[in-house]
Structure 1
């Protein structure tokens, strides 16, 4: 399930044998009353293990008293899959080939030929669920087992966890989209012809903490659609800010690890917190 969600965010490219060296972006957040927290950018899919630990990250994890993830039980694939099935399956759906832009039918047929899928594969899937599944089928590079949200969960196993959304709330964002927006999502999943070189560039941007490039990517693809951008990106960031502030004001020291795109640009968490009076300093 992480694969399905992550296919709509930053994807990455395969490489060779040794772990990829990485220095992903991280910020320290402080408040006037001694409040303290950290923001760390993850990537949900990687082709192989990344060497992402650093002295700054280890010090932050040692100073934190709470790990905050988008989904707290990130390892529980069974729970995520069950929620996806409950929310995403409704009998009586139109064939997928009738729900897409007719001009995209050749792309769908090509994907079917490559993956052995067919219209019957999506017979009961709502349009948003079909779009996420198509995105997963099209992605041959990433592996959620090497994702940094999972790696953070393992590295911070000594910390209690909290979540910003949870599996049900996260998938409900897609489930609540009007059918028109769901079909836009489906069409955009089929239109995404990003090549290996572009995926390599995105993976390198995460590894280097290149938030300018990541920020530009939040204006492309599905996030270039205003309604989808609000539902999947800017609206979620705005909802998370209050939760993070509330934790720090209650004396918690949260280490907040979310997809790196959520930390980029004027609508990213660091800028939003700064605008609300917090001191936000990039430390890596």
Structure 2
């Protein structure tokens, strides 16, 4: 799903054309005691490779002592898929058309047809997992192998790669949602797939955080419960770990979905509220 391209690296799996230039957003964080680190907003999938290592980003990476990411084993698709399958497993679930409101059923039928699925194909899958599976049909041109998270991890060299979350924990957020919220998620996926396409990747490439913040106010993140679980709560937990890494002198380079950097509940704002100095440098 297009919005999930900013938010969750596990939502999508797909000869790429020529690389596309990008100037994504980058921040420096400092604690006033000589410790520094960086926040880098990523995109988790792309229709083609991305030239994202600007001089500022490259310099930050070279100075960093540890790489902090949402999920560390993104390149191990088999392991991630196995984790998804284990958590997604269910029994005797109703057809998807019975898990959405009547008004959403025509759009759901169109998405099912596009994805090659039938209404009853998800009887052995939780609603959240069906939603993420169908989200792939809404982003058929996006390939997670072009995701910047993977490229950052690949560039780590001998520096430690530290997971802020991990695959099991990230998918576990969905698995722990009440069924009513899982159905809200499914409805959001259906609505997103039916909406006119927007160049959200373009907003990331130009570092347009205003446009990215607007996206965090709509769709699934407009739902207060989903927003707390998938956005605000995660940022709150991550900001604490980032501050600890900074103050321990680890010089962290934090690479997470660009949506997590946006607005008053984004990581730059949360870290500023904790007394750190956060400066956008690109």
* Shared fold (TM-score, shorter chain, > 0.5): yes
Pick from 270, 274, 281: which aligns with 1:272?
A: 270
From 235, 240, 243, give the equivalent of 1:242.
240
In the alignment, which residue of structure 1 is the partner of 2:156? 156
CA distance in 2, matches of 1:38, 1:272: 14
RMSD: 1.9
- Is contact 2:5-2:43 (8 Å) kept? no
Instruction: Go from structure 1 to structure 2 and tell me whether the alpha carbon gap of 1:7 and 1:135 turns closer, same or farther (over 3 Å shift).
Output: farther
CA–CA separation in structure 2 for the residues paired with 1:123 and 1:137? 19
Q: CA deviation at 1:5?
A: 9.4
Count of aligned pairs between the two proteins: 275
CA distance in 1, matches of 2:240, 2:153: 23
In the alignment, structure 2 segments of 5+ residues that lack a partner are none
1:6/1:89 Cα in 2 relative to 1: closer, same or farther (>3 Å)? same
Q: State the SS of the aligned residue for 2:162.
A: strand
Instruction: Give the secondary structure class of the aligned counterpart of 1:29.
Output: strand
Contact 2:149 2:256 in 1 (8 A): yes
Q: Helix, strand or coil: the match of 1:184?
A: helix
Residue 194, structure 1, aligned to residue 195, structure 2: yes
Change (3 A) 1:74 1:263: same
Contact 1:8-1:135 within 8 A present in 2 as well: no
**CA offsets, 1:61-111, max 9 Å, x none?**
111110110011121111111111111111121121211112222222222
- Shift in CA distance, 176/125, structure 1 to aligned 2, threshold 3 Å: same
SS in 1 for 2:34: coil
Deviations 1:239-275 (A, max 9, x none): 1111111111222111000000000111110111111
TM-score under structure 2 normalisation?
0.92
CA distance in 1, matches of 2:26, 2:171: 26
Q: Structure 2: how far apart are the matches of 1:265 and 1:8? A: 14
Residue 261 of structure 1 corresponds to: 259
Gaps of 5+ in 1: none
Q: Distance in 1 between matches of 2:68 and 2:149?
A: 10
Q: State the partner residue of 1:97.
A: 97
Shift in Å, 1:115: 2.4
Deviates further, 99-108 or 78-87? 99-108
Task: Write the distance in 2 (CA, Å) between the matches of 1:204 and 1:116.
Answer: 29
- State the distance in 2 between where 1:206 and 1:138 align: 18
Once residues 217 and 237 of structure 1 are traced to their aligned partners in structure 2, the CA distance between those partners, rounded to angstroms, is 16
The 2-side partners of 1:115 and 1:55 are apart by: 40
Q: CA deviation at 1:138?
A: 2.3
Structure 2: distance between partners of 1:4 and 1:175: 21
- Tell me how far apart the structure 1 counterparts of residues 217 and 98 of structure 2 sit (CA, whole Å): 28
Counterpart CA distance in 2 for 1:177 and 1:244 is 26
Matches within 5 A, 1:17-36: 17-36=17-36
Q: Secondary structure at the match of 1:255?
A: strand
2: distance between equivalents of 1:273 and 1:113? 44
2:106 matched residue in structure 1: 106
Partner of 2:209: 211
> Are the equivalent residues in 2 in contact too, given 1:22–1:51 (CA < 8 A)?
yes
